[in-house]
Structure 1
């Protein structure tokens, strides 16, 4: 009887932790933008048309635009990377596939975290764009066009959140010897997509910086909710280098089995 009571108590504790996890996950996604102090500071400078920032944006846009205009082959590479490899639709589709795979593995909470983080990133980015209403660069002989407002860069924000999701979910499955390479690929991709947007003349540098900062804020907020759930259920908190859920390395449970 004592063992049965302990099991029932543990199950109830898990259920209560799951309910609190859901509330925290949605709440942290909603306030992530407000918690991003560096992003807030950048937003103030953008809205105030701070002259040093404006000079930096204008100078970077003009210099990179000159290179793009005079080197068509280089511009074609930028288009390939920006519009196909690192396109938000491509990255979000990859996150969707990852989420489905997590559901197959019955990693329910990790799947929920990945989906909420990706969706929150897109919605928060659109909301900030609509509030700020910053115009995109108007360059002579443009080599690319993009619809909508400029700040923050949706490409940069999506790349930041997407590659963070890949890292925090899949790192436990990657041999330690390859983890540094995974981090390098993720960082290079995040920086690379930002560079392509400025080089193609469709974003200011501060737009890209805003996308990076806001994307990191969203990931940090939802990851905090996930770690709080682990603490509620008695699981150890994990360092970033180990991913969010090291237990993902365990074999896929049989149908009807509960997730650890």
Structure 2
């Protein structure tokens, strides 16, 4: 029995370390992008402009494609992910998994607040195109759509993947967890309402937040079991 407890403590410690390492690894490229924006990097500005101009030319010539991107962007708004997370919280609470339900709620709330605060801190303006195919309000960095899509997808993957039976279902869930955020990020650049660096930073931050909260959550469990 003592050996089993020791093994569980070690396993929790490994998961905590892995989550913390992932968070640090994701924060590094996010920090690089943020530093380049603050420093008004010519290279980053040229890259952002080149991608935006290329996609805008294509959008002008393909209104059906623009409509598809618009519908996708509307379907996966930050509020849509928050509503889905609320349903997940209720489902977990009804199964008496209260701690996990709290983790979902806190993680989604933390990501939303962090994104809003960073937008105000950086105050980056959105692309200003002569003939825009879509419009959006507020500041640009980081992309709220990309951040919340990555955040929501990561939360759902962490909660649902261990419960999935069958390799096909697990692969499908993982594919959806990658495809939905990436396509959402792409739609925002395709519509000309975000720079590429906005959505890349949003995706990075969206995965970082649950990695941090998992590390905190697991770290607390490690301490509780050590005391116990």
Q: TM-score range by the shorter chain?
A: 0.7 to 0.9
* Distance of 2:215 and 2:107 partners within structure 1: 12
Q: CA RMSD in A?
A: 1.8
Asked which structure has the greater RCO (Cα within 8 Å, sep 6+), the reply is 2
Residue 231 of structure 1: how far off its partner (Å): 2.6
Aligned residues: 203
Residue 205 of structure 1: how far off its partner (Å): 0.1
How do residues 1-260 of structure 1 correspond to structure 2 at under 5 angstroms?
A: 36-84=27-75, 86-177=76-167, 178-234=169-225
Residue 176 of structure 1: how far off its partner (Å): 3.6
Residue 234 of structure 1: how far off its partner (Å): 4.2
- Structure 1, unaligned stretches of length 5 or more? 1-27, 236-260
Normalised to the residue count of structure 2, the TM-score between the two structures is 0.85
* Distance of 1:229 and 1:43 partners within structure 2: 31
Residue 91 of structure 1: how far off its partner (Å): 1.0
Larger radius of gyration: 1
Normalised to the residue count of structure 1, the TM-score between the two structures is 0.75
* Distance of 2:172 and 2:151 partners within structure 1: 18
Higher helix share: 2
Q: Which runs of 4+ in 1 moved over 4 A?
A: none
SS in 2 for 1:147: coil
